[in-house]
A and B are shown apart, each in its own frame.
Chain A
Amino acid sequence: MPDSPAQSPSSDAARRLPRPWDNPAQVPFIQIKGLSKRFDDVTAVNDVSLDIFRGELFAILGGSGSGKTTLLRMLAGFEQPAAGSIVIDGVDMTPVPPYERPVNMMFQSYALFPHMTVEQNVAYGLRKEGLPRADIARRVAEMLALVKLGSLGGRKPDQLSGGEQQRVALARALVKRPKVLLLDEPLAALDRKLREHTQFELMNIQDQLGITFLVVTHDQEEAMTLATRIAVMNAGRFVQVGTPAEIYEFPCNRFVADFFGTVNLFSGRVAGNSGDTLSFRADNLPGVICAPATTCQTGDEAWIAVRPEKISLSKAPPAGSDENVFRGMVWDLAYYGNLSLYQINLDGGHIIEVSVQNRVRSAQRVAEWYDEVYVYWGKQNSVVLRE
């Protein structure tokens, strides 16, 4: 195991050299090839392939039963794949038992040993490596200081708060300086305020140590704020892999669009596809929706997705272009302080969601219940989805 965590040059390289995944010359750090796992008659992971690069903070996002935890457990070595291989840093991990893999895991339940103190928990992995006592003591102290638990070393896990337990679990996994740290829902057990704080702390520590992090989560917000890249998983397969912005702004299908944040979906058919504009006739909506041109053919069945914050709202028809302008009535509204959420019942019966930033301090609202309003958005904000 390399003995130089923080100043690992490759991690800096990963940060400086943006998007190593776009560089075909870059060798992936973790290579997952054709991985499958079956439990009785359920296929949990189905022929999955993925490259992860050194220093990445990669998130696998999926609902329960999507296969994400099984994938993580195969990486840790707790499950044997039915097919496929996992290569970490050039070494095939398939025949390596979990206790010999250069991989450590932070469990969702934290799995702290209740009969050991915080120090004993953190030291456990180093003791199993057979390091000299003095080295162990030094590294445990360093790691506890890093996660800001320096004074709690003598406590038992049940004397700690949830946030402290989470940090012990992190320290215990990190102290072995693994090549890859696996995190199973690292923030799920924390309350909202603590999550936000911990999120930044995690990113900080990852940045300092340069260890490749692989996070599994069901929380799209957590994935988006933490990760360099995200793989969206459903029914044992990856649906889309990309940076958070790519996935949010350019979802590849309705599942991804819907999984990430809120989205307004219109079903219908392509009415025309010429020049730089695609025109789309949505079911039960008067007029056409414009979108950037794609490879679709006229008459194809498709969907248009528009994010609520991409839509503008006004009581008078907007001046200038009449592209993507639709009339409707305020059906419901909710005030959140920083923004207001409107539900607009469009002519034709679609109910769409529009969020409006409250940028001016005022007790007045743009529109009230049952006001007639106009919604509009630039055509580049329409996403055409084929499935």
Chain B
Amino acid sequence: MNRRYPPFLIGVLAFAYAFLYVPIVLVIVYSFNDSRLVSVWGGFSLRWYRALLENEQVLRAAWLSLRVAIVSATVATVLGTLAGIALTRMGRYPGRFLFTGMLAAPLVMPEIITGLSLLLLFVTLQDLIGWPSGRGALTITLSHITFCMAFVAVVAQSRLAAMDAALEEAALDLGGTPFRVTLDITLPLIMPAMVSGWLLSFTLSLDDLVITSFVSGPGASTLPMLIYSKVKLGLTPDINALATLIIVMVSICVGVAGWLMYRRPVPQRV
């Protein structure tokens, strides 16, 4: 409608977005600060970026995080999409209620509980069957897959629910088996949801600290674990540079995901 936009609301927007963005902008600005002091501007410099690239510990942690994130996101996308299909396209089956609950619970479960419980699982499994032996990249990946797949399932589910089931029924009617119909009709149609689910999983995995701290073993330090231990000791300027790099990378990922999710197949003229 064409009601006038109240000035009060413009004030709300200005305040809220300042609240959201000023801290981030400050981090980016200070990443180019030459001074060693975090709060004093000492001129433009790229020295913290250089220091970052020379820091082998950071590079090793980043490489581990990246590997874990790629594998977790991929497996979680497959499992989460299957789960989404199982929830929207499979009718009723025994245990469906429990299934729904197990998919929704990780979304709100405090990470500290999930992390502790997964660690206890891995310890017990090792005790019982000797797998997984020790803790490290493998246990981190398994844990990330578990909480990421719940997010993928939500994304896939909402896309499937919005999609007309008549498309699949038409394909079944034309003689496709359910498996082929899923492959030929359903998957191409929910592809955007799968891609954004993958990107979501990727960033979640890259970002996770608490669960990872529980299930990681000696020597397997991910980037967030490294940042946490550095920040715990106080503010250091090289974290600004690292944060800026991560913000830039994540922004690109989000941009792609948003574009895939919201772009319309046909441009609308109104």
Say how far A120's CB is from chain B's closest CB, in angstroms: 25
Q: Which residues of A contact B2 (CB under 8 A)?
A: 39, 79
Per the 8 Å Cβ criterion, residues 1-55 of A in contact with B are 39
Q: Which residue of B lies closest to A37 (CB)?
A: B2
Per the 8 Å Cβ criterion, residues 1-42 of B in contact with A are 1-3
Q: Residue A78 at the B interface, CB < 8 A?
A: yes
Say how far B157's CB is from chain A's closest CB, in angstroms: 26
Q: Which residue of B lies closest to A70 (CB)?
A: B2
The number of residues on chain A lying at the interface, defined by a beta carbon within 8 Å of a beta carbon of chain B, is 3
Q: Which residues of B contact A39 (CB under 8 A)?
A: 2
Expressed in whole angstroms, the Cα–Cα distance for A79 and B1 within the complex equals 10
Expressed in whole angstroms, the Cα–Cα distance for A78 and B1 within the complex equals 10
Q: Which residues of B contact A78 (CB under 8 A)?
A: 1, 3
Expressed in whole angstroms, the Cα–Cα distance for A79 and B2 within the complex equals 8
Q: Which residue of B lies closest to A79 (CB)?
A: B2
Q: Which residue of A lies closest to B3 (CB)?
A: A78
Q: Which residue of B lies closest to A40 (CB)?
A: B2
Say how far B6's CB is from chain A's closest CB, in angstroms: 14
Q: Which residues of A contact B3 (CB under 8 A)?
A: 78
Interface size bracket, B side: under 10
Decide if the interface of chain B is mainly helix, strand, loop or mixed. Answer: loop
Expressed in whole angstroms, the Cα–Cα distance for A39 and B2 within the complex equals 8
Expressed in whole angstroms, the Cα–Cα distance for A178 and B157 within the complex equals 49
Expressed in whole angstroms, the Cα–Cα distance for A275 and B1 within the complex equals 56
The count of A-to-B residue pairs whose CB atoms sit within 8 angstroms is 4
Q: Which residues of A contact B1 (CB under 8 A)?
A: 78
Per the 8 Å Cβ criterion, residues 198-217 of B in contact with A are none
Contact with B along A75-105 (1 / 0, CB 8 A): 0001100000000000000000000000000
Say how far B5's CB is from chain A's closest CB, in angstroms: 14
Q: Which residue of A lies closest to B2 (CB)?
A: A39
Expressed in whole angstroms, the Cα–Cα distance for A90 and B194 within the complex equals 64
Expressed in whole angstroms, the Cα–Cα distance for A78 and B2 within the complex equals 9
Say how far B217's CB is from chain A's closest CB, in angstroms: 54
Q: Which residue of A lies closest to B1 (CB)?
A: A78
Q: Which residues of B contact A79 (CB under 8 A)?
A: 2
Expressed in whole angstroms, the Cα–Cα distance for A284 and B1 within the complex equals 49
Expressed in whole angstroms, the Cα–Cα distance for A334 and B2 within the complex equals 46
Expressed in whole angstroms, the Cα–Cα distance for A39 and B3 within the complex equals 11
Say how far B269's CB is from chain A's closest CB, in angstroms: 15
Expressed in whole angstroms, the Cα–Cα distance for A78 and B4 within the complex equals 10
Expressed in whole angstroms, the Cα–Cα distance for A170 and B153 within the complex equals 46
Q: Which residue of B lies closest to A39 (CB)?
A: B2
Expressed in whole angstroms, the Cα–Cα distance for A224 and B39 within the complex equals 77
Expressed in whole angstroms, the Cα–Cα distance for A297 and B1 within the complex equals 49
Per the 8 Å Cβ criterion, residues 176-229 of A in contact with B are none
Say how far A282's CB is from chain B's closest CB, in angstroms: 39
Say how far B214's CB is from chain A's closest CB, in angstroms: 45
Say how far A80's CB is from chain B's closest CB, in angstroms: 9
Say how far B183's CB is from chain A's closest CB, in angstroms: 40
Say how far B197's CB is from chain A's closest CB, in angstroms: 34
Expressed in whole angstroms, the Cα–Cα distance for A78 and B3 within the complex equals 8
Expressed in whole angstroms, the Cα–Cα distance for A341 and B3 within the complex equals 48
Say how far A81's CB is from chain B's closest CB, in angstroms: 13
Say how far A76's CB is from chain B's closest CB, in angstroms: 12
Expressed in whole angstroms, the Cα–Cα distance for A66 and B1 within the complex equals 17
Q: Which residue of A lies closest to B4 (CB)?
A: A80
Expressed in whole angstroms, the Cα–Cα distance for A79 and B3 within the complex equals 7
Q: Which residue of B lies closest to A44 (CB)?
A: B2
Say how far A226's CB is from chain B's closest CB, in angstroms: 27
Say how far A72's CB is from chain B's closest CB, in angstroms: 13
Say how far B4's CB is from chain A's closest CB, in angstroms: 9
Contact with A along B134-153 (1 / 0, CB 8 A): 00000000000000000000
Say how far A329's CB is from chain B's closest CB, in angstroms: 43
Contact with B along A290-305 (1 / 0, CB 8 A): 0000000000000000
Say how far A370's CB is from chain B's closest CB, in angstroms: 43
Expressed in whole angstroms, the Cα–Cα distance for A277 and B144 within the complex equals 92
Expressed in whole angstroms, the Cα–Cα distance for A357 and B2 within the complex equals 49
Expressed in whole angstroms, the Cα–Cα distance for A140 and B20 within the complex equals 49
Say how far A37's CB is from chain B's closest CB, in angstroms: 9
Contact with A along B71-93 (1 / 0, CB 8 A): 00000000000000000000000
Say how far B137's CB is from chain A's closest CB, in angstroms: 53
Per the 8 Å Cβ criterion, residues 241-269 of B in contact with A are none
Expressed in whole angstroms, the Cα–Cα distance for A191 and B3 within the complex equals 32
Say how far B49's CB is from chain A's closest CB, in angstroms: 47
Say how far A108's CB is from chain B's closest CB, in angstroms: 13
Say how far A281's CB is from chain B's closest CB, in angstroms: 44
Q: Which residue of B lies closest to A80 (CB)?
A: B4
Expressed in whole angstroms, the Cα–Cα distance for A79 and B4 within the complex equals 9
Say how far B68's CB is from chain A's closest CB, in angstroms: 48
Say how far B42's CB is from chain A's closest CB, in angstroms: 50
Say how far B200's CB is from chain A's closest CB, in angstroms: 34
Say how far A86's CB is from chain B's closest CB, in angstroms: 18
Contact with A along B160-185 (1 / 0, CB 8 A): 00000000000000000000000000
Expressed in whole angstroms, the Cα–Cα distance for A309 and B249 within the complex equals 73
Say how far A79's CB is from chain B's closest CB, in angstroms: 7
Expressed in whole angstroms, the Cα–Cα distance for A97 and B3 within the complex equals 13
Say how far A69's CB is from chain B's closest CB, in angstroms: 11
Say how far A212's CB is from chain B's closest CB, in angstroms: 26
Q: List 4 A-B contacts (CB under 8 A).
A: A39-B2, A78-B1, A78-B3, A79-B2
Q: What 4 A-B pairs come out closest when comparing CB atoms?
A: A39-B2, A79-B2, A78-B3, A78-B1
